[in-house]
Structure 1
Amino acid sequence: MTPRIVTALAPALLVLMGAAQAQQQPLAATGRWGHQAVGSAPTPPMGWSSWNAFQMDLTEQKVLDSAQVIVDTGLAAAGYRSINVDDGWWLQRRLTDGRLQVRTGLFPSAATGGAAGTSLRPFTDRIHALGLMAGLYSDIGRNACSQAYNTDSPNLPEGTQAEREVGLMGHVERDIALYFGEWNFDFLKVDGCGLSSYGKDRPPVTSGRFREFGPTVVEGNANQSDIEGARALYGRVTQALRSVRPNGDYVLSVCLWGAANVRSWGAEVGTMWRTSRDIANTFPQMVHNFDTVATREFYAGPGRWNDPDMLEIGNGDFDGKHLLEARTHLGLWAIVAAPLMIGTDLSKVSPAIIDLLKAPEVVAINQDPAGHQGVVAYADSDRQILVKTLSDGRKAVLLFNRSGANARFTLTAEHLKMDAAAPVALRDAWARAEAGTFTGKKEFELQPREALLFVATGRHLLPRGYFVSERPGNVFVARDGIRALEADPIVYRSLASWAATDNGGTRPAYAGWGGPRADSTPYDQSLSVQRQVFRHGIGVLADTRLQLKVPAGSERFTAQVGVDDSTRGKLAGASFEVWGDGRRLATTSPMKFNQPARELSADLRGVRLVELIVRQHGADPAGPVVVTWGGARIE
């Protein structure tokens, strides 16, 4: 790392000293909730973004017209309130004082004159006057994505090499004060091309138009990325925002496309973070983006959201001629509590698309205040069932046929963690109508690419309390136990029918394989200890610490614990600990592979925060020790 880069990172590293100190004793119970909110988004952010609609062909009038449609059609009333200007707004950075100048040919109201030269405050004032929020785009590096990939656009930054360096690097505090102070924006998307696309062998640099940087981030290869460097740079933006907006009235979107293991640390520096490459208006690409979120349930929750990218509804495979696919797209984003950012030209979409985007019971599932992401209850190559616990105790359930043929589904009460002997009532979230009842199980047949979305009401499996795995938004992963980064093999399959075949094909590209899972091992196996199978529970690696918020009135935590039958490491042992508000409540001695599960129980009366800690005892050359908190519940 060059001295110049060290200088750029130093303030951010100071900011993250608290996190570094925690890493020195990562398994030590703290008695304090470990997530510090970045901005304010108790439910997934909703709005509209200019990029998929207009890309670099952006004007102030197009954005204002889109905002007016948002209001006039009732989309704003449905929750879509953030109007986000993406790449293409800037002209250059003024060298005398570093102030960014706006391209007034596109944003004429910015031609305010005077010492400032230009200002986007008149634009944000107009957006706010509509009762909406205003969002803007920047890049964490010196230069933006458009300068590397949209080289034919007439709307790229102009001037000398230094004047065209419009990204945040070297100007974080100045730019954040400008965006959120003087210009009064509410939302900022911070891209990462400046860290990945300006290496010495990349065309923007070999052309002589841009200075070399890094790369700090290598897409598709977390091991080649400077993860701590990227995290520190985004952390500096976080601190600048907290300084300018100490009351937290902002949203920070970290757009690092799932690279540099951001799926694991995004919550430290952002309100929402991209888990995947850019979405496209094809069904396979949409499913790919969904896959990057579907098994990351413990990494999201109120104020911290996995982001599989903006909606493509209204475009391509999801336009007015493909309403089934459009409903599937919105249903998938709803069940995993993803941000809902419309990405289409609203002046051209059909009324049916507008109505679909407003679907009140579907949006309500996404915006449920409990903030739980849906959990995979069943999955094979073609079919998935996901279940999301709602704040009133009901369950949203989505059945998804990924295939190109009709598919039969059996939905069981156990999928819903409901009593198979009691009736379960279903309500169709799309039709806004009751859809009958069943006892035990119910059969469905789905069309190709179809997703059905219901809200289920029934008697819970537990007479009192709940399984920890059904409320993932109450869990914070303080330590995930991953020692060596591995690419997640689940999230590349859907690209096969989308990508060209003139190369070696797609490969797993996103790190994070091995993170904690609900009702599954970290490696997507059934939970099992000495052949005792647990349909409900938590699968983790040893050397993991999870934090659980405990509802008032809770009395007891119980789990059957042990080394999972799927473990790679069979030689080392693992001990289990339950802590409450910083006090150790229960523990086991070290357990080994092929030993029976043991019950671990702790009195939770008066406890508000539980920490579940697993410590590995001894080394194991075969790999990490996989362990199970079988049937983990709070009653």
Structure 2
Amino acid sequence: MTLHRFLLPLAALCAGTSLSAQMADPLAPTGRWSAYQAGSAQLPPMGWNSWNAFFTHVDEEKLMGSAQRIRDAGLARKGYRYINIDDGWWIRRRASDGRLMIRTDKFPSARVKGDPSFRPLTDRLHAMGFKAGIYSDLGRNICSQAYADGSEQLPEGSVAEREVGLYGHTDQDIRLFFADWGFDAIKVDGCGIRAYAPDAERVRSGQYRALAPLIDQHSISRSNIPAVKALFAEINQSLARHNPDGDYMLSLCIWGSANVRSWGKDVGNISRTSDDISPDWGRMLTNYDSAARRALYAHPGSWNDPDMLFIGKGDFDANHLIEAKSHFSLWAMMNAPLLIGADLRTTPQPLIDIFGNADIIALNQDQAGNQAVMAFDADGFQILVKTLANGEKAVALFNRGLAPVDAILTADHLKFRADRPIALANLWTGERSSFMRDMKLRVAPRETVVFRARGDRTLADGLYLSEQPGMVNPAADGVVQPEPDPTIYRSIPNWRGTRGIGERPMYAGWGGAMADFTPYNQPLVIAGKTYGSGIGILANSRLEVRNAGFARFAAQVGVDDSALDGDQAVRFFLYGDGRPLASTPPMRRGAPAQAIAADVKGIKLLELVARADGVRGNAVPVSWGDAALLR
């Protein structure tokens, strides 16, 4: 069966829409929240994954040893509940019926009457209070087959028997994993749809069959985004079919390629925003940057995933506790999954203590589901702020560099009143302090200082939308041609070193919606007036906003001064539960901001639309200045 024939019946599945719906006006109000709500990930998943510690050399003893350490160290009580088997568990796909076969020499409990089964292992994990996760790939073949160099535990047998990925077997495998074997989560990689081109050496040698790549990690324009979405749509249908209780978790792992940083939120519970992490400071910065400015693309049920924690090795081992604490703090602030990647059987207690910092974990698991927003960013120093469910703020002061920074934390960073006391609790040292207006502190090289802050809000009777990004979904962000994001740090990957010309911007997302900044990381400015709070997005966009009991919406809107096209007219519309509430006349760059407001009491979903008249060459940034929900 050709790829073309395979994808045609899936086209209508993509993102859960019909062909007619895909052709409909994407700016038309729908009255419904469109970000992913299937599965079970209202909070960022926490747990452990085998890959960083063991690569393909995973076995039952290693897995259960780490699970036992999580339980014995009290980490399970703090939320670590997923125990995930990554690559290396399979030996072949049985030719007679396509059933996947387990390496029973590595997983002896799988030796049961009849076909080998992971059910005894998942039953044991469930009895310990854990959930169990498994690994597969979108293609016929998997990542270790493409990139492992002499690795053990690769699939064996004929060419067909070594095709252990989901391609052509999606429903069969999903049923096996969830209904038969009792798994609760699946990580789906994408090497099988990028690494097996007809001219690849591994294919030309006859080792594997060719599969025309759907993803080109270094070229967005050469990636077949609709086809990739269609494959995930098929997975979602199978997950729903074989998990009638809806208790599952889907992890997308296509490394920030194919513009997934924009649409992953609509397709799975967690979505990788970058290539693999490694235990190097520079690589951690790359992975962190790939998610740090994407707060509007993460929500309860669908989270940005900058990859697993690599605490325990290299720059994050027990000799580098400052770096390890920074790594953990940043992932917590971003609401990233907290998936430990260490061999916990031998992990020193100081690192266990980092994993177990209940105050930092609480920021990650806060019920509001707001990823931190960038409040300051210059010269290798950043301040991130997130609004918590009880109205307090978490603030992280992050020194990326090798010299200490004398920083100033201000009330404005927190959106607190400067004339009232602000109480701080340091979540690593336990120290308490307070200040008014601003506070000076020294941040050591590579240190992240994390506070929980309490004060009087600048906006006393409501919340700015930029304070609640978990309630704001860019259903259409106005980006027509995805572009690589130049703000992501370009590190030296340990798998390539300094071969070639060095890493170049490769993760699409430039021009996406941002909290408190324009899509191109500029301040929000309308006709010369700067707005410290608001949403920046491109014209021809639609934002969905959940209303948690507020009575009124208000914003100052206009074409941002950073727009290159001064003649393009844009109209702004506000809808509530699909019905029109307010609108503006056409506006152009330089026109004063216009107020757009409405009574929204009883309305569950607002939709904010910026529609450009006609089609022109340049994308037009627009600003929803001071956009807020008020009581």
Q: TM-score, normalised on structure 1?
A: 0.97
**Superposition deviation, residue 11 in structure 1:** 4.0
C-alpha distance in 2 between matches for 1:93 and 1:455: 51
C-alpha distance in 1 between matches for 2:475 and 2:609: 10
Aligned equivalent of 2:436: 439
1:261-319 CA-to-partner distances (Å, cap 9, x unmatched) read: 11111122211010000000001101110000011011101010000000001111111
C-alpha distance in 1 between matches for 2:352 and 2:233: 37
From 624, 630, 634, the counterpart of 2:629 = 634
Question: Is the 2:285–2:489 Cα contact (8 Å) retained in structure 1?
Answer: no
Question: Is the 2:12–2:19 Cα contact (8 Å) retained in structure 1?
Answer: no
From 500, 514, 517, the counterpart of 2:497 = 500
1:172-207 CA-to-partner distances (Å, cap 9, x unmatched) read: 000000000000001100000000010112222122
**What one-letter code is carried by the residue in structure 2 that aligns with 1:84?**
N
1:28-83 CA-to-partner distances (Å, cap 9, x unmatched) read: 01112222413111110000000011111111111111111111111111111100
Question: Is the 1:571–1:620 Cα contact (8 Å) retained in structure 2?
Answer: no
**Superposition deviation, residue 87 in structure 1:** 0.2
Question: Is the 1:15–1:236 Cα contact (8 Å) retained in structure 2?
Answer: yes
From 561, 574, 580, the counterpart of 1:565 = 561
2:543 pairs with 1:546: yes
**Superposition deviation, residue 497 in structure 1:** 11
**Superposition deviation, residue 14 in structure 1:** 2.9
> SS where residue 159 of structure 2 aligns?
coil
> SS where residue 570 of structure 2 aligns?
strand
Aligned equivalent of 1:82: 82
From 371, 374, 389, the counterpart of 2:372 = 374
Aligned equivalent of 1:461: 458
**Superposition deviation, residue 598 in structure 1:** 1.1
1:197-221 CA-to-partner distances (Å, cap 9, x unmatched) read: 1011222212210001111101121
1:129-164 CA-to-partner distances (Å, cap 9, x unmatched) read: 211111100001000001111141231101110010
Q: TM-score, normalised on structure 2?
A: 0.97
1:531-565 CA-to-partner distances (Å, cap 9, x unmatched) read: 1111111101000000101121x221111111101
**Superposition deviation, residue 498 in structure 1:** 10
Q: Where does the alignment leave 5 or more consecutive residues of structure 1 unmatched?
A: none
C-alpha distance in 1 between matches for 2:486 and 2:70: 39
**What one-letter code is carried by the residue in structure 1 that aligns with 2:17?**
G
C-alpha distance in 2 between matches for 1:536 and 1:152: 53
**Superposition deviation, residue 569 in structure 1:** 2.4
Aligned equivalent of 1:523: 520
> SS where residue 364 of structure 1 aligns?
helix
Question: Is the 2:265–2:271 Cα contact (8 Å) retained in structure 1?
Answer: yes
> SS where residue 466 of structure 2 aligns?
helix
Question: Is the 2:277–2:308 Cα contact (8 Å) retained in structure 1?
Answer: yes
**What one-letter code is carried by the residue in structure 1 that aligns with 2:486?**
P
- Which runs of structure 2 are paired with 1:87-486 in the superposition (5 Å)? 87-114=87-114, 117-434=115-432, 436-486=433-483
**What one-letter code is carried by the residue in structure 2 that aligns with 1:377?**
A
**What one-letter code is carried by the residue in structure 2 that aligns with 1:458?**
G
**Superposition deviation, residue 93 in structure 1:** 0.5
**Superposition deviation, residue 381 in structure 1:** 3.0
1:438-473 CA-to-partner distances (Å, cap 9, x unmatched) read: 000111111110000001000000120010111000
Q: How many residues are treated as equivalent by the alignment?
A: 628
Q: Where does the alignment leave 5 or more consecutive residues of structure 2 unmatched?
A: none
Question: Is the 1:580–1:609 Cα contact (8 Å) retained in structure 2?
Answer: yes
Among the aligned pairs, what percent are the same residue? 48
C-alpha distance in 2 between matches for 1:278 and 1:559: 40
The alignment's C-alpha RMSD in Å is 1.4
Q: 1:494 to 1:568 in 2, by over 3 A?
A: farther
> SS where residue 259 of structure 2 aligns?
helix
C-alpha distance in 1 between matches for 2:457 and 2:211: 55
> SS where residue 385 of structure 1 aligns?
strand
**What one-letter code is carried by the residue in structure 1 that aligns with 2:522?**
Q
**Superposition deviation, residue 15 in structure 1:** 2.2
Aligned equivalent of 2:619: 624
**Superposition deviation, residue 12 in structure 1:** 2.9
**Superposition deviation, residue 503 in structure 1:** 2.3
**Superposition deviation, residue 128 in structure 1:** 1.2
**Superposition deviation, residue 605 in structure 1:** 2.0
Question: Is the 2:143–2:191 Cα contact (8 Å) retained in structure 1?
Answer: yes
2:59 pairs with 1:59: yes
C-alpha distance in 1 between matches for 2:601 and 2:292: 34
**Superposition deviation, residue 494 in structure 1:** 4.4
> SS where residue 378 of structure 1 aligns?
strand
From 597, 603, 614, the counterpart of 1:601 = 597
C-alpha distance in 1 between matches for 2:393 and 2:488: 26
**What one-letter code is carried by the residue in structure 1 that aligns with 2:324?**
A
1:407-428 CA-to-partner distances (Å, cap 9, x unmatched) read: 1211111111111111110011
Q: 1:601 to 1:25 in 2, by over 3 A?
A: same
Question: Is the 1:579–1:585 Cα contact (8 Å) retained in structure 2?
Answer: yes
1:560-586 CA-to-partner distances (Å, cap 9, x unmatched) read: 111101112222110001111111111
Question: Is the 1:527–1:628 Cα contact (8 Å) retained in structure 2?
Answer: yes
C-alpha distance in 1 between matches for 2:392 and 2:499: 48
1:497-535 CA-to-partner distances (Å, cap 9, x unmatched) read: 997334222210011111110000000001001111111
Aligned equivalent of 1:18: 17
1:99-123 CA-to-partner distances (Å, cap 9, x unmatched) read: 1000111111112242xx2111111
Question: Is the 1:8–1:169 Cα contact (8 Å) retained in structure 2?
Answer: no
Question: Is the 1:38–1:268 Cα contact (8 Å) retained in structure 2?
Answer: no
> SS where residue 189 of structure 1 aligns?
strand
Question: Is the 1:295–1:375 Cα contact (8 Å) retained in structure 2?
Answer: yes
Aligned equivalent of 2:39: 39
Question: Is the 2:303–2:336 Cα contact (8 Å) retained in structure 1?
Answer: yes
2:521 pairs with 1:488: no
**Superposition deviation, residue 25 in structure 1:** 1.3
> SS where residue 194 of structure 1 aligns?
helix
> SS where residue 520 of structure 1 aligns?
coil
**What one-letter code is carried by the residue in structure 2 that aligns with 1:65?**
G
> Higher mean Cα deviation, 224-233 or 197-206?
197-206
**What one-letter code is carried by the residue in structure 2 that aligns with 1:317?**
D
C-alpha distance in 1 between matches for 2:261 and 2:275: 12
C-alpha distance in 2 between matches for 1:498 and 1:43: 32
Aligned equivalent of 2:510: 513
**What one-letter code is carried by the residue in structure 2 that aligns with 1:429?**
L
C-alpha distance in 1 between matches for 2:502 and 2:587: 42
